Amino acid sequence: MKKEPVDFLSRYFVTIFRERIRTVLDSDHPVRKLVYLCSGLLLLNGFLFVFSVKDIWRVPTADRYEKPSLLYGVNSDGNYEPIAEFYRFSRIVLTDADLPGGWDNKVIRCFESTEDNNFRSHRGLDIRGILRATMVNLIAGRVKEGASTITQQVARLKFLNTERSFLRKAREAWLAMLLEATFDKKTLMQIYLNEIPLGHGTIGAGAAARFYFRKDIKDLSWGEAALLASLTTRPKEFSPLANPITSEGKVRVVFKKLVENGILDVKTAEKEFDAFSEYYITLNRSPNDSAFSDRLNRFPYFTEYVRKNLARIIPKTQLYEGGLKIYTTLNIQHQTQAEKALAAGLKQQTLLSNQRAFTKIDAFEDAYGDIYEILAGLHDIPEFKFKISRSFRTFNRAWQEDLRDELSVLNLISGTEGLGEVVDWSYKTQATEDHLLPVEGALISLRPETGYITAMVGGSGFRSDNQQIRAFQAYRQPGSAFKPLVYASAMEYYHENPDPKKNVTAASLFDDSPLQYVLEDGDEWNPTNYSGEYSGFIRLRQALELSRNSVAVRLLEHTGLNNLLPNLERLLQVENRNLPRDFSIALGSFEVSPYELARAYAVFASGGKRVFPLSVLYVEDDKGNLLKDFRKDNEKKERKQLVSPEVSYVITSMMEDVIKKGTGTGARSYGLTRPAAGKTGTTNNFRDAWFAGYTPELVGVVWVGYDIGTLSLGKGMSGAVVAAPIWGRFMANALSKEKSKPFAFGDPKIVRRTICSISGKLPGSHCHQTEEEVFDKETVPTEVCDDHRGLTEPAPLPQPKPTSPKKKKPNLFEGDEDVIR
């Protein structure tokens, strides 16, 4: 309840009044003293309880409204476009242009007829109406009729509460007179139409017209305008969605008043009412519908992420009511394609993974139902019950798994349109097919140069039961998608500490063979390759292409765990979490979110510089004044060189081969032709599937898995099979309108050398398999391959000596081939 404190000026007037009373009491006439005293006390009470000096400044602000804040994204033309709005209640502020016809406007006439017939003639208070309402209420013995004018209702809606008391009515009357002195009648009507609550979360006639009829207020018929006017007293009771019969009766009353006031004749009123009655026949909406569901919110996962972050900086009142303009980094083309790619991938994967929800929910009741009743009686345990009956559960399961498909086929052969619509509706409204647990996922993309987050999807669909923003909140093991960070950290360590024994290049040779470690607690750890196969000695580039786990562990062992971790921590930029100090980190045992992995990969794409992701550029108030500029804050941050441009170049080159001929070839399945680098990731038992990668223009990360971390996507459901195609589809379509360009890392000290494909050394005279490799200028190998000495190229096979042609006969079985006798 609103409470108004006594202001300083009121206290000042009380002091003056007290002095005047003292003067009167000094009079020689006792009767006059008494009359003056009683009159003064009455005036003082009225002054203190009704009048407030603050009203003089508050009343002129009555034509200011709560305005929704708009969220903007960037479209394909580079222009800002609204993508969402924040508000507590749905409101569309009406102006003169929205109410054509002046006082003859249908909506205005309907509200005048139901609320205040004398609105245009009185000065805030309708004395006749007050007297009439008083008599009606006295006769009825209860409050049956109100006497508030539209101006009084404006005063209550803008400045007071709904408390039923004489004090509130007195304040309402005082404020109404001030409003009449400040605004003209037309403005007061607009304020009323913009402030009146009309049910289901709508404030004002404009929002109600959009919610109930999906129309602008200027396009309403007489019946539709009458329905809005019928909702002023008790919107819940007279809602056409909740109580259509009661609503129709109330609309009939509004039409009667229009006839009584001479606005419509009987014939026209009957015709308009009959035409509007069709609205109730065709009405098919839930009584729980709310105008909030009509809120502009094209990309809810991104909107919710921005809302949560802004709520920490901007007061919620200002965020929901201040009419702010929030300009974000979201690219509408990228976001649209991200949602399409992930939704299609998750739907298909749900069917493939086929992890079923628990359906035998009657098992407990069958086995322990009787015992549970006894225990419940002894120990006061709540009753064991389901929200729906067993018969309904049984029918629903049978309908979805058996009956529906058969009925759908029969209906196609000889069914009716109505039955077909029921079956189609059943398919569309079912959250998961045949009790399958939904596979979830996340996708996030950002610009490597600016850190602008261009797309972000947090799951399979933003619903009341699925609002987790997994791009930021799903911490899972990245598997082999972590290896490029390990490789880069090892290369960067040599770059900072040039020890020949620690030199690591894309051509370095490592042993790809089984490993076995004994841990401190006595357990054994045997890291194995995904395929279970080993290649012997293999170059680091090939090891990344084929995602060899044993090589990643041996590389970590070669560089040293303590030497590698500082560089890894810098790349990940993780705060308040420590990386595990064991060799399993080489295989991605440290849990990260898709956002964190994208931020780390963005370092490579930007030539080794630190990237600060950004989702909101700047915020303006309702007058266009700059409220907060996040771009300036971002520009002040120092973009340190986390790895050298040379290391970024080499790692990018290696990951390009992953997509061209390694485990990431699935990323090309949707027509991605521009330069791209990336790495797949799969965790134990196929629980998580990852693909992280980038083009010169964009960094993107895809994660797919179950929310329950122990569930498997199924045998063979690796990052290469599950996540890479989603990533490739998104990248190809998101960047379809942007020109392709090559990777650019400034002017790195990179040299190209021909090496022996087998040993990784400079080729010797006996090396017959060679290829070109890229090196940091300081890491070019100097050793010449001597591994193949004594081996020569295999001599050509001897050709058979020519022989005289032999006699041939037709092949009866092959037709045109010859048979040698």
Of the candidate ranges 64-73, 102-111, 510-519, 750-759, the one whose mean pLDDT is the lowest: 510-519
3-state DSSP of 49-77: HHCCCCHHHHHHHCCCCCECEEEEEECCC
8 A C-beta contact, residue 126 and residue 149: yes
Concatenating the DSSP letter of every residue in 89-111 gives: SEE----GGGSTTGGG-HHHHHH
pLDDT band at 812 (very low <50, low <70, confident <90, very high): very low
252 within 8 A of 273, measured Cβ to Cβ: yes
Find, among 250, 328, 662, 631, the residue nearest to 484 by Cα.
662
Q: Among 113, 353, 480, 489, which one carries the catalytic annotation?
A: 480
Q: Are the CB atoms for 60 and 159 separated by under 8 Å?
A: no
Task: Please check the confidence at residue 359 and state whether its pLDDT lies above 60.
Answer: no
Crossing angle for the helix pair 222-230 and 266-276, to the nearest 10 degrees: 80
Homologous superfamily in CATH for domain 69-80+297-357+400-474+594-603+613-632+664-745: DD-peptidase/beta-lactamase superfamily (3.40.710.10)
Write out the two tokens for 305. 């992420």
**pLDDT of res. 676:** 97
Cβ neighbours of 458 (radius 10 Å): 27
Closest CA to 680 of 669, 667, 668: 667
Query: Out of 91-100, 106-115, 272-281, 383-392, which region has the weakest mean confidence (pLDDT)?
Result: 383-392
CA distances from 380 to 370, 461, 636 (A): 15, 40, 63
Which residue, chain included where needed, has tokens 């202001």? 7
Supply φ then ψ for residue 754, to 5 degrees. -80, 130
Q: Could you tell me if 693 and 676 are in contact, meaning their C-beta atoms sit under 8 angstroms apart?
A: yes
**Angle (CA) 102 106 107, round 5°:** 90
How far apart CA 227 and CA 225 sit, in angstroms, is 5
Which SS3 state, helix, strand or coil, does residue 34 take?
A: helix
Please give the share of the chain, as a percent, with pLDDT higher than 90: 52
What per-residue confidence (pLDDT) applies to 819?
30
Based on the residue annotation, tell me whether 304 is a catalytic residue of this protein.
no
Nearest Cα to Cα of residue 547 among 718, 761, 714, 695: 718
Of 341-350, 653-662, 762-771, the poorest mean pLDDT is in 762-771
pLDDT at 794 (0 to 100): 47
Per-residue pLDDT at 820 exceeds 80: no
Residues 188, 154 contacting (CB under 8 angstroms)? yes
Closest to 738 in 3D by CA, of 206, 359, 334: 334
Q: Is the dihedral of CA 169, 172, 174, 180 positive or negative?
A: negative
The strand pairing partners of 620, in sequence order, are: 325, 626
CATH architecture of 88-294: Orthogonal Bundle (1.10)
Distance (Å, whole) CA 264 – CA 222: 10
Rounded to two decimals, the pTM is: 0.77
Question: Residue for token digits 């607690």?
Answer: 521
Instruction: Please say if the pLDDT value at position 338 is more than 50.
Output: yes
CB-side neighbour CA atoms (13 Å) of 75: 7
Q: Tokens 């521009």 label which residue?
A: 674
The one-letter amino acid at 128: R
- What was the pLDDT predicted at 385? 56
CB 119, CB 186: distance < 8 Å:
no
Separation CA 133–CA 124 (nearest Å) = 16
Helix (H, G, I), strand (E, B) or coil at 332: helix
Kindly state the tokens that stand for 196: 């009146």
pLDDT reported for residue 450: 94
Q: In the predicted model, what is the mean pLDDT of residues 64-82?
A: 92
The SS3 of residue 217 is: helix
Which tokens hold the place of 718? 């690796």
| pLDDT, tens only, 231-288 | 998 899 999 998 999 999 999 999 999 999 999 999 999 999 999 999 998 888 888 8
Our CA dihedral for 607, 611, 616, 620, rounded to 10 degrees, sits at -90
Burial 694-703, CB ≥16 within 10 A → b, else e? bbbbbbbbbb
Distance CA 608, CA 606 (A): 6
Give which of 100, 92, 44 is closest to 68, Cα–Cα.
92
**Whole-number percent of the chain with pLDDT over 70:** 77
The mean per-residue pLDDT over the stretch 560-588 comes to: 90
Q: How confident is the model at residue 558 (pLDDT cuts 50, 70, 90)?
A: very high
Mean pLDDT computed over 771-789 = 87
Q: Which residues contact 368 (CB under 8 A, 6 or more apart)?
A: none
The pLDDT of residue 137 is: 61
In the set 115, 248, 272, 339, the catalytic residue is 115
Distances from the Cα of 153 to the Cα of 88, 96, 179, 413, 754, angstroms: 21, 21, 11, 61, 87
Tokens of 538: 């293999």
- 677/177 Cα distance (integer angstroms): 72
Identify the CA nearest to 353 among candidates 439, 284, 481: 439
- Taking the C-alpha atoms of residue 394 and residue 369, their distance in angstroms, rounded to an integer, is 18
* 8 Å CB contact between 691 and 701: yes
Q: Over the stretch 738-747, which tens digit does the pLDDT of each residue have?
A: 999 999 998 8
What pLDDT is attached to residue 288?
A: 83
User: What is the chain's mean pLDDT, rounded?
Assistant: 84
Do residues 81 and 75 lie in contact, with contact meaning Cβ atoms separated by under 8 Å?
Answer: yes
Annotated catalytic residue 115 = yes
Higher pLDDT, 159 or 371: 159
DSSP type of residue 804? P
Average pLDDT for 349-354: 88
Is the pLDDT score of 813 beyond 50?
no
* Cα–Cα dist 71/90, whole Å: 16
Please state, as a whole number, how many other Cβ atoms lie within 10 Å of the Cβ of residue 119.
19
Q: Do residues 449 and 284 lie in contact, with contact meaning Cβ atoms separated by under 8 Å?
A: no
pLDDT in tens, 582-636: 889 999 999 999 999 999 999 999 999 999 999 999 999 988 999 999 999 999 9
Q: How many CB atoms lie within 10 A of CB 238?
A: 23
